[in-house]
Amino acid sequence: MISKNPQIVIRHNLSRQRFEARVDARLAYLSYTPNGDRVSFDHTYVPDELRGQGVAAVLVRAALNEARERHWKIVPRCTYVVRFVERNPEFADLVVPQTRA
């Protein structure tokens, strides 16, 4: 999977259950936990050196796009994912209703 930002390539690492971005040899990721037809988006991690460059947004957007393709319903446990969906309501339909803020 390749993000829309040509400088940030997102990889879906199925074995580690996370979406990963390597930027300048540093790893950022969004981890998830599948549970039946639902997938909890648990944690977004971006190294200090990469913060403020839009890496987390690219990760979350890629993960949500793949969730749509895979027909996942997401449970956003990560506050960054919650805020991202609030700012990008085109993804609100992916969120399990009782988990919306």
Say whether 93 sits in a helix, a strand or coil: helix
The HSE-up count of residue 51 (CA atoms within 13 Å, CB side) is 7
At 86 the pLDDT is 96
15: domain range?
10-99
Residue 69 sits in a domain whose CATH number is 3.40.630.30
DSSP code string of 16-74: TTEEEEEETTEEEEEEEEEETTEEEEEEEE--GGGTTTTHHHHHHHHHHHHHHHTT-EE
pLDDT cut 70: percent of the chain above it: 91
Q: What is the pLDDT of residues 52-94, one digit of tens each?
A: 999 999 999 999 999 999 999 999 999 999 999 999 999 999 9
Number of domains into which the chain is organized: 1
The overall average pLDDT reported for the chain is: 91
For residue 75, how far is the Cα from the chain centroid?
A: 11
pTM value is: 0.88
The answer to whether position 1 is within a domain reads: no
